[in-house]
Amino acid sequence: MHHNIRNGVVTISLIRREVLGVSFCSACSTMRGSSIGHPRQGENAVSLYPIMDNHKQSIMTSQEIRESYKTFFASKGHVIVPSAPMVIKGDPTLMFTNAGMNQFKDIILGNAPIKHPRVADSQKCLRVSGKHNDLEEVGHDTYHHTMFEMLGNWSFGDYFKHEAIDWAWEYLTEVLKLSKDRLYVTVFEGAPAEGLERDDEAASIWAKHLPVERIINGNKHDNFWEMGDQGPCGPCSEIHVDIRSDEERAEVDGLTLVNQSHPQVIEIWNL
């Protein structure tokens, strides 16, 4: 039997409305879906053009993105923890670390004490087997990878949706300077047949940041996170960015391309 959790999760993980994790997928050296720029000092780089607010070419290395993320969440009271080993030890259910929440699994399940109520990290992940096997997807789009880093901020019995949403928006628009008019969000639309309501709480918080028409209802496949057939689960929100040219955006509204497997309208945050 699932724990019926109505309130948000993350790559998300929430249990008993007390554990919240949020992950921002920084796919190894590419911010998911962003175009690759020219490497600097041996570090792969990411071009945020044309999605920067000032529409000027800007190159950030993966190291710069990673450090800016950690610095931002440290300023919000998070303890920065190291990436867990990629090869799982002491957990027979996983061979490799495939998500940022893996190292916090025992805390989420209530089997380990909470050391820090707020944590942030950059977790190295490998998805080549099991539930998250992306081997067959690599090369067919711009955002599936087998090995990548997942940036995550986590709350254990501390803050919840308001802070998670506000800080995600602040980081993307104020730190990375992404254009607000290129961002869309999705919320769980509900599943009446299963007794699950729409996530109106998340939708109302998002409405502080962007127009209602860019807050999109998502189905259970896209906007309901489950750890497995049994265990923690609950609704989640996603942030999507449209990195097409202005000419392409004028021809086709990005609203119609969210969660449609478009290579340049892609999810970058799950919370």
- Mapping DSSP to helix (H, G, I), strand (E, B) and coil, where does residue 166 land? helix
Task: Supply the mean pLDDT for the chain.
Answer: 81
pLDDT of res. 171: 97
Integer angstrom CA distances of residue 28 from 44, 92, 211: 9, 26, 32
Q: Which residues pair with 129 in a beta bridge?
A: 132
- Please report the pLDDT score of residue 147 as a whole number: 86
Mean pLDDT of 255-264: 93
| Res 98: pLDDT | 86
Whole-angstrom Cα Rg for the chain: 18
Name the residue with higher pLDDT: 144 or 91: 91
**Among the listed residues 220, 163, 229, 166, the one whose alpha carbon sits nearest the alpha carbon of residue 197:** 220
pLDDT surpasses 70 at 34? no
Residue 2 vs residue 129, higher pLDDT:
129
Pick from 84-88, 130-134, 158-162: least confident: 130-134
Q: What is the pLDDT of residue 39?
A: 30
Task: Work out the angle between the directed axes of helices 62-74 and 161-170 (0-180°, nearest 10).
Answer: 140
Q: How long a stretch of residues is the chain?
A: 271
Q: Are 236 and 8 in contact (CB under 8 A)?
A: yes
Read off the pTM.
0.81
Q: Which of 51-55, 66-70, 145-149 has the lowest mean pLDDT?
A: 51-55
pLDDT value of position 122: 96
pLDDT at 154 (0 to 100): 95
Cα separation, 101 vs 105, in Å, equals 6
Residue range 236-263: mean pLDDT, rounded = 95
Say which range, 35-44, 51-60, 128-137, 200-209, has the weakest mean pLDDT: 35-44
- Whether residue 4 has pLDDT greater than 50: no
Higher pLDDT, residue 139 or 109 = 109
Lowest mean pLDDT among 53-57, 81-85, 111-115, 175-179: 53-57
Considering 52-66, 71-85, 138-152, 228-242, the range whose residues carry the highest mean pLDDT is 71-85
Per-residue pLDDT at 159? 95
State yes or no: pLDDT of 203 exceeds 90.
yes
**Which amino acid, residue 67?**
E
Tokens of 1: 């039997």
